[in-house]
A = this chain, B = another copy of it.
Amino acid sequence: MTRDADAPPSWIDALQWDENGLIPVIAQDANSGRVLMLAWMNCAALRLSAQEGVATYWSRSRQRLWKKGEESGHVQRIRAIRVDCDGDAVLLIVEQQGGIACHTGRESCFFRELAGEDWQNIDPVLKEPRDIYRPKP
């Protein structure tokens, strides 16, 4: 039996995609060990990420493929792709270009920590968003 050339490879078929055809993906910094973000991929995004070695997610708000860093330059180079025991979550070990994953200019999107009954910012802004996303000359 030959496989359809356009059919997803078996390693992608082996995953548990949710009712929207998505899977949650954690990105962890290969150097600092920080959990940088949680985003989502569809089958095409994961396949592309594996092929290119840089992370492309599925933007649920924009309903399109979203190459991380396409505007900011904060690309994520993939060192490893892991999957969990249930096959319903993916972990990327990445080299985070610029050392900034968050659109707020912080290393990690998880920069707020519960203190008593409040979320407190615990991480510094490394680069102001206006300097990350400013129009190209």
Enumerate chain A interface residues (CB-CB to B < 8 A): 9-11, 14, 24, 26, 28, 33, 35, 37-38, 50, 80-86, 89, 91, 102-104, 109-114, 117-119, 122
Cβ of A111 to closest chain B Cβ, rounded Å: 7
Given A26-B26, A91-B35, A11–B81 Cβ distance below 8 Å?
Answer: no
Oligomeric state, in copies:
2
Is the CB–CB distance between A114 and B82 below 8 Å? yes
Kindly report which residue of chain B lies nearest to residue A90, judged by CB atoms: B110
A85 is contacted by which of B85, B104, B122 (Cβ under 8 Å)? B104
Residues in B with CB closer than 8 Å to A14 are 119
A42 to B131, CA, bound (A): 37
